[in-house]
Amino acid sequence: MPEADKQLTDLYEHPGHLLRRAQQISVSIFYDEMGGELTPVQYAMLRSLAEHPGIDQVSLSGLAAIDTSTGATVCARLEEKGLLERKVIPSNRRQRALNITAAGAALLDEMASGAQRLRERLLAPLTDSERRQFMRLLTKLVRTNNAESRAPQAAHCQPRQSAKELDSGPG
């Protein structure tokens, strides 16, 4: 088989497979460092809510780049755990305004050092320069392919750095 054809059939030559493997590794390290109180998606939703108090559930799902159905389920679970509260928006009774509770804020504070360890462990094989380059390229890949997702991140939530800046940054 020609080398070019072999690359097409080798799983470890496919970026999607490597990204899936990286996600598996990231989730495993997440639970090692962050414990089992929250899933990675619950953490993303709660972290986003902490930065956007009073946001509605659909917009919060957009911030975390998850579909609205999953977002509703995650919010319900976080509410059951006493980490967020949902209140009907009087001007639109079909929407709920979300706010993080004191318990939710305290949990995020407790998890902060674990989040830093997670980042360090995940990026440990890379030099500082490679880390910056990897994060620039990964951000560019995600940002420019956002519309291809079944749950695209809301446009107003994407990184403020332009693709040109991503291409020309240090590293």
pLDDT in single tens digits along all 171 residues of the chain: 566 666 667 887 889 999 999 999 999 999 999 999 999 999 999 999 999 999 999 999 999 999 999 999 999 999 999 999 999 888 887 788 999 999 999 999 999 999 999 999 999 999 999 999 999 999 999 889 888 777 767 765 544 444 344 444 444
Q: Tell me, what DSSP letter sits at residue 97? A: E
With both helix axes pointing from N to C terminus, report the angle between 15-34 and 102-123 in degrees, rounded to the nearest 10. 130
- Token readout for 70 is 């999953």
Amino acid letter for position 65: A
Residue 13: other Cβ atoms inside 10 A: 11
Residue 74: other Cβ atoms inside 10 A: 24
